Structure 1
């Protein structure tokens, strides 16, 4: 039977929802599921992880060096834990994409990236070519599988679990060549873009950062998160943490509203798992209409005020 270890993502003492999505992937693989929480004081995060349905055990690794998520510091500790497991999973988020390749390298293994479906304990489906094709990959049998999970393709596992929490002793030399300097991130009262059920995104057609207030206003009325195309980010309308797409965030909201976004394949890669896609664009030939469930052709500067008034 498989023994699966999931590396928990957390920040400021709170568990990231991506961890529960990794649990769903682990359940598809089948086997005993453990979650590792590496932190300076992991107790609060471990308590959250223990409540996820399907988790049998939570391992805590308490170390002052783990106060900040530095991949080069965390990786040797995860690699040390991995010897007891057939699979080691992490979310395909900024955190996971940074950490898991380091873990795979220390173990001398090739990583399986962006697992979106499980065909067997060592057989997985993942997107390639910006999501234009899906490839089936098979990891060598008898070797540990190190993988990142495409969180947009998996629902979050529910609560109701009652896993045991156990402290793990990890004796490894930690490198000192990488130092944590700081974290710069936008502060917002709006829902988190990566886990929100509703998202309103704006594109280059907004024309300016000031005009992007139309997107914020509509999102606030809907209780939605705010996203943006790469073109809008590159133009300086919004910070890059709002970027949706292949080089931004891969999301799967129940409702995605694309305003003034043409629909380049790199952007569509980031929203392909959305439940309902609504597109507003003045160009009737815009590629976004090919994937939209509902499309409205018109001037966004007229449509958005009318839509908000109707809401």
Structure 2
């Protein structure tokens, strides 16, 4: 464990590209929060060709240091396995960011972040912690990570004794750290690795639908069994388009054929981390809720006032969606 003379180093792994969603900054938010709790050192490791927005976010969060590894302008974004190799090279360089067996590395929750964290754990002979929800420090100074399993019905408590530790995290949401007076951020420029694993050969095919993708959506309008039929989902697509969001669906709606499998949210579907999740006609099973990030503001519309979903919603509306959604659409158009 680190001593007061050797503070724990908490690193945010942030691949930078032209457009970053709010969830992409989650590692920096969580690194700053954890470093404050353990009197540690929070830094961001940025790899990509457009680091400026991420640098500004790091400054706003009061990160202690930023390490920038800039790739060639206009270069194709690196794939997760290439990013893992690039981070490993950065951490093995003679002038590498200081790290040891107590260091913690955060990546953003999602398929890419989870692959980066797992691959980097293997390259550093570290511990892959998976998707962690919260962190504690006990009286002896040992760091504990908490993650959910079995659709949120079980919490796993992991002791972080000998690492380094690599985890994926969600946005801190309303607990994003407030900027306090800190020393100026330390900037470090690094050379991009000369050799990386080759990119996988890819072929592009046209999407089968024109509606916005769930991946990275900041607002999700999701329908469940209570929608009733595929025609009902057309109303959800229309509302999502008005709101600049994407449509999701619960497993019963997918099984009924009302929406494609790519739109399933839940334990056996996609994990989403929007700012707002509008659940329409969804009962609120643990398996479905396991696919929604904990910090998301959940708005539920259901005609059953005893539906489980209302126990997890910030706003609950007891109504028939066939009456409520058209009224909402008219209000939005006005």
TM bucket (normalised to shorter chain) is 0.7 to 0.9
CA distance 1:72–1:222, shift in 2 (3 Å): closer
Q: Which residue of 2 aligns with 1:59?
A: 67
Deviation at 1:279, TM superposition (A): 3.0
Q: Which residue of 1 aligns with 2:270?
A: 248
Within 5 Å, give how 1:33-182 maps onto structure 2.
33-39=42-48, 41-63=49-71, 67-82=76-91, 84-85=98-99, 86-120=103-137, 122-141=143-162, 143-151=163-171, 155-156=175-176, 163-169=185-191, 171=193, 173-176=195-198, 178-182=200-204
Aligned CA RMSD, in angstroms, stands at 3.7
CA distance 1:93–1:155, shift in 2 (3 Å): farther
Deviation at 1:96, TM superposition (A): 0.4
Query: Are the aligned partners of 1:250 and 1:269 in contact in 2 as well (CA < 8 Å)?
Result: no
Calculate the TM-score normalised by the size of structure 1: 0.78
Q: After TM superposition, which residue ranges in structure 1, 4 or more long, deviate above 6 angstroms?
A: 158-162, 183-190
1:8 to 2, 11, 14: 14
Query: Are the aligned partners of 1:23 and 1:157 in contact in 2 as well (CA < 8 Å)?
Result: no
Q: Distance in 2 between matches of 1:217 and 1:102?
A: 40
Deviation at 1:184, TM superposition (A): 7.5
Question: Unpaired segments of 5 or more residues in structure 1?
Answer: none
CA distance 1:151–1:130, shift in 2 (3 Å): farther
Q: Which residue of 1 aligns with 2:95?
A: none
Q: Distance in 1 between matches of 2:261 and 2:188?
A: 38
Q: Distance in 1 between matches of 2:203 and 2:69?
A: 22
What SS does structure 2 have at the residue aligned with 1:127? strand
Deviation at 1:245, TM superposition (A): 2.5
Calculate the TM-score normalised by the size of structure 2: 0.73
Q: Which residue of 2 aligns with 1:21?
A: 26
Query: Are the aligned partners of 1:199 and 1:226 in contact in 2 as well (CA < 8 Å)?
Result: yes
Deviation at 1:6, TM superposition (A): 1.2
Alignment: residue pair count? 303
Deviates more, 1:94-103 or 1:65-74: 65-74
